[in-house]
A and B are shown apart, each in its own frame.
Chain A
């Protein structure tokens, strides 16, 4: 059974810092890994999708890496801003169905 873990559960940093969020998964048989952002009480916004054959993806200040063999992914956020405050969720896609298995998320607070 695939399990996804995110560390830390919560993170608070001052504006301008670079930071790393971690995600680990137990089964390397994945189609892809996605990072999502969720604002309080809202739906999910896809940030980055890494196919299983890829090592990393970049979008603006965000960079996500994938090491399938070790079951790990990191989301790097450069020059953090207060608007980056949200919960960040990592999910892996498994099986012939487009089933996403999510971690519990990291609640990020960027202090002005």
Chain B
């Protein structure tokens, strides 16, 4: 059983640029959630994808967008980068069924994004 992987590990961008972060779910998982963790803070929920559809969104502007692919891997895209977007971006995968009990979420190692 493979774990959750994320790429790249680190990334440096300048203000105004666009970035794409990638996440491969754990085998058998159909749900991916993305979180932003600023330095010294707890992670904050960005959005979740379930079977290729956005299933919920946190308090983040539309320039944060995502995709989930048929193999359940996922991308997080951020446009018009701002200095405050500098953070550790975490993805988590899980297996859930509609109406069923939520399953444990397994987190990847994260991508450290620095915006200069």
Contacts and interface: CB of A to CB of B under 8 A. Distances in A.
A92 to B, nearest CB: 11
Contact of A104 (B42, B48, B94): B42
Contacts of A46: 104-107
A101 B1 CA distance: 27
Nearest to A1: B59
Interface in A81-112: 89, 91, 93, 95-105
Interface residues of B, number: 30
B42 A4 contact: yes
A37 to B, nearest CB: 11
B26 interface: no
Given A31-B102, A43-B107, A93-B102, A101 B45 contact: yes
Interface stretch (B11-19, B74-82, B108-116): B108-116
A104 B39 CA distance: 10
Interface string A69-80: 000000000000
B56 A97 contact: yes
A44 B45 contact: no
A104 B110 contact: no
Interface string B29-69: 00101010000111111001000000110100000000000
B96 A98 contact: yes
Q: Which of B4, B94, B102, B108 has the most CB of A within 10 A?
A: B102
B54 to A, nearest CB: 10
Contacts of A61: none
Nearest to A89: B42
B21 interface: no
B31 to A, nearest CB: 7
Nearest to A101: B45
B42 A91 contact: yes
Given A97-B56, A99-B58, A43 B109 contact: yes
Interface of B: 4, 6, 31, 33, 35, 40-45, 48, 55-56, 58, 88, 90, 92, 94, 96, 101-102, 104-110, 112
